[in-house]
Chain A
């Protein structure tokens, strides 16, 4: 997700909470350590960004 989106101030919030803090509860990290593909629209909180805006 971080390489795809360019608004750094937005990403910083996610990084602080999930990457630099308790990354064990990051949904992206969880998939990654299982060796599974990580969708670009999966948020660290487990929600998925919908193409038409918002998350589900």
Chain B
């Protein structure tokens, strides 16, 4: 606590709890990058939500449309497979039912992002380390310097983070917390690359700054 940070184990419990609670409450994996994307593309989210509201709960009509589109795309082979499945499920009394999933409102992502700022603020207050600063600490200044180069390094770093997370389809929260906890191969690889690249970059910067 003396450094102003919470104990590592308390942070780990908090992050694990948030990941579980988010999935439990909203039915989708926790991820900050996807939350940013949904807010950035809010206009598209609204348009899609409007279109889906127009479709309404008429899942049966959508299923019929899907069947027609599948026949158009794949021809007789699809028709044969569909007929077999329908015959089999009817015989078993388990006729497939269509069910349209509800799209979470994009404003949920806005609340998540707002919560990150509020949580950080409350954590700083509780550890009595809150204060307005115009620098990123002596370690950042030692490596990147102050003034223009420091600001340029921040912009470059931010741009690389945005570029990398878009390429990887997620960031440390989405891949590291949600993906690794579900043993998703892509997330395991992504997280290894994130951490490996971060450790390598830290060593490289330290060597250059000497």
Contacts and interface: CB of A to CB of B under 8 A. Distances in A.
A6 B65 contact: no
Chain A's interface size range is 20 to 34
A45 B70 CA distance: 10
B55 interface: yes
A45 B73 CA distance: 9
Contacts of B59: 4
B127 interface: no
A26 interface: no
Interface residues of B, number: 46
Interface of A is mostly: loop
B107 interface: no
A51 B61 contact: yes
B116 interface: no
Contact of A9 (B40, B48, B82, B97): B82
Given A3-B101, A9-B82, A39 B48 contact: yes
Contact of B81 (A12, A37, A40, A45): A12
B85 A6 contact: no
A33 B169 CA distance: 6
Contact of A35 (B41, B67, B69, B74): B41
